[in-house]
Amino acid sequence: MRATLAIARREFAAYFATPVAAVFIVIFLVLSATLTFTLGGFFARNQADLLPFFGFVPWLLLFLVPALSMRLWAEERRSGTVEALLTLPIAPWQAVLGKWLAAWGFCILALLLTFPLVLSVNILGQPDNGAILAGYLGCVLVAGAYLALGAAMSALTRNQVVGFVLGVAGCFLFAAAGSPVIGEFLSANWPALAEAARGISIAERFGNCVRGVIALPDLVFFVAFIAFWLCANAAILDARRAS
């Protein structure tokens, strides 16, 4: 575990050694605020809650998180440093977990910086802060899930752009699986698949959190989803090292 934390600290510090951290955070904060106050109709709704914000966050993260995860392994492979990393006396899963923890911590920091929105709704009214906290927990879990998937996609290629496209496509697949359009299509043609699609839908699980419901099945889903893609990431790296 010590090696994992050492990698996590190094990777987290590396974000702030380049403009990556500032660009990501600024883009995320500007887009989330703009969408919340304009398309989300924050003031027009005349309600003290953050539903407009939570409505856009998963879709923002769907594009921004793969932009963050695409460099985790693609850049290492392109520059040849992945071989040096994997020759260290650490297991592939330790390197994978360390990089994921660093990126997840960075995403959590970006989410925490949206605290002015929480202050705003508390000044304007009397919101259900429990539901807001549950919504933020959902955002943290969604970011972790997207990062785990995106990192696995990044490990498949040397090209960051390809890693980004694969990450977005994979995240979109699991985000939109439970959408009404896909649900109606599957229900009309393959009813059994419709229920399965809802079961693997990240958006469906996140919606429960936004409603203030932190259900054990949803937590188990996110933990299992993250664990699966982290294991897939480690397996990919192990296969690369063996070859």
Please tell me the least confidently modeled range out of 13-17, 95-99, 104-108, 226-230. Answer: 13-17
- Across 76-80, 88-92, 136-140, which has the greatest mean pLDDT? 136-140
Residue 185: pLDDT band by 50, 70, 90 thresholds? Answer: low
Average pLDDT (59-81) is 78
Domain ranges of the chain: 2-242
Alpha carbons within 13 angstroms on the beta-carbon side of residue 160 total: 11
Residue 169: pLDDT band by 50, 70, 90 thresholds? Answer: very high
Q: What is the 3-class SS of 13-76, one letter each residue?
A: HHHCCCCHHHHHHHHHHHHHHHHHHCCCCCCCCCCCCCHHHHHHHHHHHHHHHHHHHHHHHHHH
Residue 191: pLDDT band by 50, 70, 90 thresholds? Answer: low
12's tokens: 């987290």
**pLDDT surpassing 90 at residue 52:** no
**pLDDT surpassing 70 at residue 190:** no
Token match 């699991």: residue?
A: 174
Q: Which secondary structure element, helix H or strand E, spans residue 188, and what is its range?
A: helix 180-189
Residue 161: pLDDT band by 50, 70, 90 thresholds? Answer: confident
Check: CB of residue 72 under 8 Å from CB of residue 153.
no
| CA angle (178 as vertex; 172, 183 as ends), nearest 5 | 120
What pLDDT, on a 0 to 100 scale, did the predictor assign at position 33?
87
Q: Which secondary structure element, helix H or strand E, spans residue 179, and what is its range?
A: none
Cα separation, 135 vs 197, whole angstroms:
22
pTM: 0.89
Check: CB of residue 226 under 8 Å from CB of residue 144.
yes
Q: What is the rounded average pLDDT for all residues in the chain?
A: 84
